[in-house]
Structure formats: C-alpha cells, structure tokens
C-alpha cells in the first residue's frame, strides 16, 4: 500500500505531543510510536520529510531527524532512496479506531481521554451544571422514585413521561408534535449517529455547512459519506449552494445547525428555514436539523426548521439538555415523522437497548422550566462572552471575529496566519486549540486562518487563557507566518 500522511494531518493527530518531560525529540518519537500502536499510522505509510514535518510542528529539523533516527533504530521506521521515510512494512497492522476523518480521536475529544495538568484546553465546550439540575434531582428522589422503581422494562424509545414532555416542548415552539415522533437518546451525539446509520452508506452524498461541527462530520464520514460543503452567509447555509448541490448530486441527507451554527454561532433566518423545508418536500431530500449547540440565545430565535416545512418534507430534529442544563446529563432526543422515529428507535436498541431511566426522570423535571433554564444559561454565556471579547480586544487587537448570534464560542480569524501553525505554538504555551481546517469537510484546507475559541470558562481561567494566547501570538509573529517562512522556528 502506497499512502502518504499530510504534514498538517499528522500534526493534528499528534495533538499535545510536545508536553511532558524529557528531550523534545523523545516526546515526538514516543507520540509517533503510540500512533502506530493505535493503528492511526499503518505499515508502509509514508511520513512527511524531516524538514516539512518540522515546519508543520514549528520545531527544529534536528528534533524530527533525531525522532526519526530513534524509531529507525527500533525497526519502526525505514527509509528508502527516492521514497522517503515510511512506517516499516514489518510492523503488524492494527485496526484503527476510525474515530475521525484523520484516522484518530478528534482533537475536540482527545483531552477527554487524558489528564494533562497545567494545560488549558480550548478544544471542547464547557457546560457546568445550573442550580436547577440539583433541584430536579432532589425532586425526582423525593417525589418520583417509587413510581420509577416500579418500572420493569427498558423503554427503548424513551421514558413515556419524557417523550410526552419533549412533545409538549416542541408544541410550545409552534411545532405540533406527538410522543410517537420522539426517540430519547444518550445525548444529541447518539441521535446524529443513529440518523447517520439509517440514511448513509459508503459513497452517500451529504450536504453540509462549511465550516461545520467536526464531531458530527466524523460520524458521517465513518459511514462513508461524501461531503458536499456549502458556505454560510449571515442567514445560514447558502440557499443557492444547497439548491445546486441537490440538483447536481441528489444528496441522501442535508445536515444543518440552524440554532445555532457551530462554530460560527450564526442563527439561520426564518426565510432560509422555510426555503430548506420546501426544498426537502420538493425533492424528497431528508434534512437533519441539529439544535443541540446552544448557550447564548437570541430573543428573536425562530421556531425549529421543521415548523417551516410543508407536508411531505422529511425533517429529523435533534436536541439535548446537555448544553442547557449540564454536560453531565447525557439526555438528548430526536423528533421525526412517526414511521422514521420507529425505525430510528430500532437502531437505538441495537446501540444500547435504552437510556437510564433515572436520568430521563430528571430530564422530565428540567423540561418543566426549560425556558427558565435556557434564559439562565444564556445570561451566563452573555457575561462570559462580554468578558472574553474585552480581554481579546485589549491583548490581541489585531484578531478578528464576528459577535455570534448564539452558542458558546467565538470563530476567530488570525489575520495573515495559519491557525494550524499557531496551534502548535499555543501548545508550547500550554493551550490546546482546534484549528479551522479541522472544522471543515472541504479537502482543500479551507478556513486556515480561523480557530474556535470557547468562552465558558470561569473568569480567572479566561484571563489566564488570553494571557497565554497573547504570549503565543507574539512568539508566532516574531518568527513570521509559516506560509511566508516555512522553516523558521519557534521551539
């Protein structure tokens, strides 16, 4: 097999390789060895040259040369005249995890698997519990436990009381819904996975926003999806681009995040929602509407996309309590036409039989005051966003961003700089970032100047984070953007 690993992709999957003790070349060698052991790097796969990888990692060429030499001495790497450095063909192949489009755990989730003291990870969003969560748990224990303990089945589609509560929640959002349209899932992530399993197969064309949420893009890529990226404007995904993609490729699915888009925080307009709903009905293309990314909310937020769809449109709406109430409450759901909800619930049974009933009982209580919880979370996020913007304007005045309509992060543009290169420098200052290309299904490295910056840290962590980012930026600018000078060094 003759395959090559792009330098930027290898830098992404190496993650926080430079942290730890010992010589830098040894840390790099250890990380490369781990990637081989995980199956991320396969036998005979060609690695970037020492000079190119050094530029991508922002280290000296000597560091990479020494790391490669060490692995050659172990028999893990081999070099051939004219074909560069490869993983040895004598290495036993390992089945890869297949967790991401780059063949490894996505950068947004990598930090969940490791405890790295001193590192500030800006890869994942943070959702600490609201006070209402504890109150709901206490009410369930005090009032609902006897009836809950009398339950003697799994309820694969979800606790009946929760399905009724979710249906009522959608009715309050001007989207008439019945409990048989609801399937309760273990977070919104599982809901998107179930939809991907049902609708997608190898080679399935899927219209997606560009940029988009890498976690869900990875779920679809794992099913073999072929992405049709469409850019956004200030109203959401570009309608002309979607119509063109539908006409030319007959996609199996359209995946959008109307309220609110991750990572840009854009709220899709009511007119654009109606346009997509009509498109689904006219061409028979199902739409997956993911509304799980929230935090800051607009008082003018339209109803769910499905509320604007005419009869005959196939819209699957996904949502969750995790981003509103508490990240530790892994209760999500999907709303679909009743016959599709039944088919999706069969996929749910194959995945885990059913979700925990105690968690679902807590979710019933939380949905009683969903509007109050959402408002409380939004106000918390508004304060965090104001604070983060003020810190950035003072410390990093040349950075650019648009204040989001909603969500929990800024989509920051680094003028004249490559975010992947900057992320390597930031890592040396104990900050983990997700570069823009990671949030794109495009193969050509779009959004190279952007990265997503979550804001929901406590105030002191935000201050420390921005201080570290500013130090990393000064260091990065001192040595010039990698596009202009690919071999200048930072570490």
Tokens of 3: 């395959």
Task: Tell me the C-alpha distance between 87 and 443, whole Å.
Answer: 24
The residues, ordered by sequence, that sit 6+ positions from 166 with a Cβ below 8 Å of its Cβ are: 158, 177, 179, 182, 184, 333, 335, 367
Nearest partner of 405 among 314, 298, 333, 321, judged by Cα: 298
The residue assigned the tokens 């992320």 is 423
pLDDT in tens, the chain (491 residues): 456 778 888 888 888 888 878 899 999 999 999 998 888 888 999 999 999 999 888 889 999 999 999 999 999 999 877 678 999 988 887 765 554 554 445 555 555 555 567 899 999 888 999 999 999 999 999 999 999 999 888 899 999 999 999 999 999 999 999 999 999 999 999 999 999 999 999 999 999 999 999 999 999 999 999 999 999 999 999 999 999 999 999 999 999 999 999 999 999 999 999 999 999 999 999 999 999 998 999 999 999 999 999 999 999 999 999 999 999 999 999 999 999 999 999 999 999 999 999 999 999 999 999 999 999 999 999 999 999 999 999 999 999 999 999 999 999 999 999 999 999 999 989 999 999 999 999 877 789 999 999 999 999 999 999 999 999 999 999 875 444 333 333 33
User: Residues for the chain: how many in total?
Assistant: 491
Domains of the chain, start order? 3-96 (1.10.10.10), 120-126+372-479 (3.90.1150.10), 131-369 (3.40.640.10)
Task: Tell me the C-alpha distance between 170 and 103, whole Å.
Answer: 38
Task: Tell me the C-alpha distance between 298 and 292, whole Å.
Answer: 15
| 201 exposure class (CB count in 10 Å sphere: 0-12, 13-18, 19+) | exposed
Q: Are strands 450-454 and 409-413 parallel, antiparallel or unpaired?
A: antiparallel
Query: What single DSSP character describes residue 302?
Result: P
pLDDT of residue 490: 37
Tokens of 155: 């309820």
- Chain centroid to CA 42: 25
Strand ranges (E), 350-428 = 409-413
Predicted structure pTM score: 0.85
Task: Tell me the C-alpha distance between 145 and 139, whole Å.
Answer: 9
For 204, the enclosing helix (H) or strand (E) is none
User: What one-character-per-residue DSSP string does 239-292 give?
Assistant: HHHHHHHHHHH--SEEEE--SS-TTT-PPPPHHHHHHHHHHHHHHT--EEEE--
Tokens of 60: 């000296």
Task: Tell me the C-alpha distance between 227 and 230, whole Å.
Answer: 9
Task: Tell me the C-alpha distance between 182 and 339, whole Å.
Answer: 11
């Amino acid at each position: 097999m003759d395959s090559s690993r792009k330098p930027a992709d290898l830098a992404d999957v190496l993650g926080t390789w430079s942290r730890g003790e010992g010589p830098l070349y040894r840390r790099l060698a250890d990380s490369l060895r781990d990637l081989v052991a995980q199956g991320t790097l396969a036998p005979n796969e060609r690695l970037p040259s020492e000079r190119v990888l050094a530029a991508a990692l922002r280290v000296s060429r000597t560091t990479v040369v020494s790391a490669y030499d060490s692995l050659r001495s172990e028999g893990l790497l081999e070099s051939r005249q004219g074909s560069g450095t490869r993983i040895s063909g004598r290495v036993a192949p390992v089945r890869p995890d297949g967790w991401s489009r780059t063949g490894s755990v996505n950068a947004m989730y990598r930090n969940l698997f490791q405890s790295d003291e001193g590192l500030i990870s800006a890869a994942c969003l943070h959702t600490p519990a609201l006070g209402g969560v504890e109150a709901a748990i206490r009410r369930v224990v005090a009032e609902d436990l006897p009836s809950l303990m009398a339950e003697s089945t799994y309820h694969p589609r979800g606790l009946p009381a929760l399905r009724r509560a979710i249906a009522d929640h959608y009715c309050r959002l001007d989207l008439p819904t019945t409990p048989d349209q609801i399937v309760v899932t273990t977070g919104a992530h599982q809901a998107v996975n179930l939809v991907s399993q049902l609708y997608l197969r190898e080679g399935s064309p899927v219209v997606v926003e560009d940029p988009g949420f890498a976690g869900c893009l990875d779920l679809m890529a794992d099913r073999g999806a072929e992405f049709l990226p469409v850019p956004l404007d200030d109203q959401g995904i570009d309608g002309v681009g979607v119509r063109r993609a539908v006409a030319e490729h007959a996609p199996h699915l359209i995946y959008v995040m109307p309220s609110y888009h991750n990572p840009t925080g854009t709220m899709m307009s009511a007119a654009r929602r109606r346009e997509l709903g009509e498109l689904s009905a006219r061409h028979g293309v199902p739409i997956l509407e993911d509304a799980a990314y929230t935090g800051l909310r607009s008082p003018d937020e339209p109803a769910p996309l499905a509320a604007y769809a005419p009869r005959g449109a196939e819209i699957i709406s996904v949502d969750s309590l995790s981003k509103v109430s508490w990240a530790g409450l892994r209760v999500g759901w999907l709303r679909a036409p009743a016959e599709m909800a039944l088919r999706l619930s069969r996929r749910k049974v194959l995945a885990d039989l059913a979700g925990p009933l105690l968690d679902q009982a807590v979710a019933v209580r939380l949905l009683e005051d969903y509007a109050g919880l959402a408002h409380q979370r939004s106000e918390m996020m508004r304060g965090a966003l104001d604070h983060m913007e003020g810190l950035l304007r003072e410390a990093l005045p040349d950075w650019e961003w648009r204040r989001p309509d909603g969500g929990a992060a800024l989509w920051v543009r680094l003028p004249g700089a490559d975010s992947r290169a900057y992320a390597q420098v930031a890592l040396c200052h104990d900050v983990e970032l997700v570069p823009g290309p990671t949030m794109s299904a495009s193969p050509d490295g779009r959004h190279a100047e952007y990265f997503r910056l979550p804001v929901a840290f406590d105030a002191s962590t935000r201050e420390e984070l921005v201080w570290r980012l500013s130090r990393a930026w000064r260091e990065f600018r001192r040595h010039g953007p990698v596009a202009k000078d690919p071999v200048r060094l930072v570490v």
